[in-house]
A and B are shown apart, each in its own frame.
Chain A
Amino acid sequence: MIGGGTGGTLAANRLRHRLSPADEIVVFDADDRHLYQPGLLFVPFGLAPPARLVRSRAAQLRRGVEFRRTAVEQVDLDHDRVITADGGALPYDVLVVASGTRLALEATDGLTGPGWGKRVHTFYSLPGATSLAGALAAFEGGRLLVGMIDLPIKCPVAPLEFCFLADWFFRRKKMRSSIQLTYLTSLDAAFTKETCNRALSGLLERKGVELVTEFATGEVDGAQGRLTAYDDRETDFDLAVLAPLHEGASCVARSPGLGDALAFVPTQPTLQAKAKPNVFAIGDATDLRASKAGSVAHFEGEVLSHNVTRFLAGEEPDARFDGHTNCFIETGFDKALLIDFNDEIEPTLGHFPSPVGLPLLKESRLNHIGKLAFEQLYWRAILPGRDIPFIGASMPLADKHLEKAE
């Protein structure tokens, strides 16, 4: 297993449960700090203490899973082995690539230049989110620009949620009228999914957030406080909060034949890499169309552990991942909305997972509580690889007002 994050941990734990004790499972990661990434959204607003979000990786793994604290340098597909950063090599029968994404800060001109960490921030890393907390607390007013440079990014709604929380944060501080809040996106609308887009654009409008679309950021000038798009449009800011470009992990980029141009692993619905049948991929590392989200890694875990088990038994991997994604969208003032969709079916109104469940695509206090409860669920059920009642790999269709995806 390359990576002891969300996907690697839950997949190792699920496999430990299914495979015979004679089968060895080894998880590689460079450090022993497992970060609860959804918590990063709350750090800048003082709503989550950074220390609470980090736990030992090894401690999340079931007994019988070996944790090795070293990075994988490269995968040698031809010889079915990984080469590690400490100079070792380990042969495998099955490899699971769970190395997530890398923030490609260098891919945007000027992003980490003058003003980085002062006027230009990101909450996509723990140090970033922590320093942003200071900047927000000290912000005296002006133009606050929140933006997404280009897809794919982890949890693509997180920058929108950041806007909603910023609106709440500055209203509470009685400063909202001195802040011009703008959401900037490379997409042609607030969000890619049409039904969500309607709900989310309405929310932006109601909260007084200006929307700038089709802005493909090419250059950041933190000294002047200016973003320039590839089509030469410009926009000014006093404080910018950006989701940087994402790529697949460097070890994928270094492994001939494994990744695509952006180092994501071309992956089939069985979660086997297109490169070789004994290589699987899970979570953010794949090139699948599903969102890069922990909930997706959770749904994939069921499919992956089933298929790896069959593969090791000499049987055809027969489970397929349907693109099931769901996420809570924090909307501020102790409310949140919930979306649920897959490759075929658009996010809809209704309730999840059944008529008595959480309201879909509607702001509610219950969804906010759901979002907060997710943190406990993450450590106690998702990482240990437990099945959560009613929330399985295939998307539930009860009480949904359905619309087919294009």
Chain B
Amino acid sequence: MATMTYVGIEVSTDAEGFFADPSKWTEAMAPQIAAAEGIAELTDRHWQVIRFMRDEYERKGDAPNVRALSKTTGIPIKELYQLFPKGPAKLAAKIAGVPKPHGCI
């Protein structure tokens, strides 16, 4: 466990920075989390993914992986990697304040 401060509010996260309690997240925190991950500006396209991650997490208790994300939102995987470099599902989950997607083992 670790603590981070976003827009002046202290939240607890796991060692990699994923929110321990997604209900503590607010949209205002997202740009700051994104900036720390090297994403200078959140575009509408970013927000489409971030909101989708939250919805899926709230509905299913787990955030989707990148293929499911692409199939459901219609955003090509290539573009997801441009929006969220390295790991779109992981990074979008972190910015959306939900736990790291489990994937399957």
Chain A interface (Cβ within 8 Å of chain B)?
A: 107, 150-152, 156, 187-188, 192-193, 214, 216, 218, 230-231, 245, 260-262, 266, 289-292, 325, 406
| Tier of interface size on chain B | 20 to 34
- Say whether A262 contacts B14, CB under 8 Å: no
> Contact at B65–A151, with CB atoms within 8 Å?
yes
* Of A218, A261, A291, A292, the contact of B71 (CB 8 Å cutoff): A261
Complex contacts, A152 vs chain B, CB 8 Å: 103-104
Any A CB within 8 A of the CB of B31: no
A132 to chain B, nearest CB (A): 25
Q: How far apart sit A290 and B65, CA to CA, in the bound complex (Å)? A: 15
5 further A-B pairs in the complex, CB-CB below 8 A; given A192-B105, A216-B77, A292-B104: A107-B67, A150-B66, A289-B62, A289-B105, A291-B104
Indicate if the CB atoms of A230 and B78 lie closer than 8 Å.
Answer: yes
Q: What are 22 A-B contacts defined by CB distance under 8 Å?
A: A107-B67, A150-B67, A151-B104, A188-B87, A192-B103, A216-B77, A216-B87, A218-B77, A230-B78, A230-B81, A231-B85, A260-B68, A261-B64, A261-B68, A261-B71, A261-B72, A289-B102, A289-B105, A290-B104, A291-B104, A291-B105, A292-B104
Alpha-carbon gap, A56 to B23, bound state (A): 53
Given A230-B77, A406-B14, are A325 and B68 also a contact pair (CB < 8 Å)?
no
Q: How far is the CA of A5 from the CA of B66 in the complex (A)?
A: 29
Q: Closest CB of chain A to B30's CB: distance in Å?
A: 22
A152 to B62 Cα, complex, angstroms: 15
Q: Please state if A262 and B104 are interface contacts (CB–CB under 8 Å).
A: no
What mask results when residues 63 to 100 of chain B are scored 1 for a CB within 8 Å of chain A, else 0?
Answer: 01111100110000110110001110000000000000
Q: Are B81 and A262 touching (Cβ within 8 A)?
A: no
Chain B residues lying within 8 Å of A188, measured Cβ to Cβ, are: 87
Residues from chain A with Cβ under 8 Å of B14 in the complex: 406
Q: Which residues of B contact A187 (CB under 8 A)?
A: 103
* Nearest CB in chain A: distance from B72 CB, A: 5
Q: How far in angstroms is the closest Cβ of chain A from B65?
A: 7
CB contacts under 8 Å to A, within B11-30, are 14
Residues of chain A within 8 A (CB-CB) of B105 are 151, 156, 192-193, 289-291, 325
User: Chain A residues with Cβ under 8 A from B86's Cβ?
Assistant: 214, 231
**Chain A positions within 8 Å of B60 at CB level:** 266
A245 & B104 in contact (Cβ 8 Å cutoff): no
User: Could you tell me the distance between the alpha carbons of A290 and B66 in the complex, rounded to whole angstroms?
Assistant: 19
Tell me how far the C-beta of B92 lies from the nearest C-beta in chain A, rounded to whole angstroms: 14
B60 to A: closest C-beta gap in Å: 8
How many Å lie between the Cα of A156 and that of B102 in the bound state?
Answer: 14
Contacts of B85 in A (CB 8 A): 231
B33 to chain A, nearest CB (A): 19
Partner of A150, one of B65, B71, B81: B65
Residues of B within 8 A of A151 (CB): 65, 103-105
Shortest beta-carbon distance, B87 to chain A, in Å? Answer: 7
Tell me the complex Cα distance, A218–B88, Å. Answer: 14
List the B side residues contacting A325 at CB < 8 Å.
105
Residues of A within 8 A of B104 (CB): 151-152, 156, 289-292
Q: Which 10 A-B pairs have the closest CB atoms?
A: A152-B104, A230-B81, A261-B71, A261-B68, A151-B103, A261-B72, A291-B105, A192-B105, A231-B81, A151-B104
**Cα distance A145–B85 when bound, in Å?**
24
Alpha-carbon distance A151/B102, docked complex (angstroms): 10
- The distance from the CB of A293 to the nearest CB of chain B, in whole angstroms, is 9
Kindly list chain B residues whose C-beta atoms are within 8 Å of the C-beta of A231: 81, 85-86
Chain B residue numbers with a CB within 8 Å of A216 are 66, 77, 81, 87
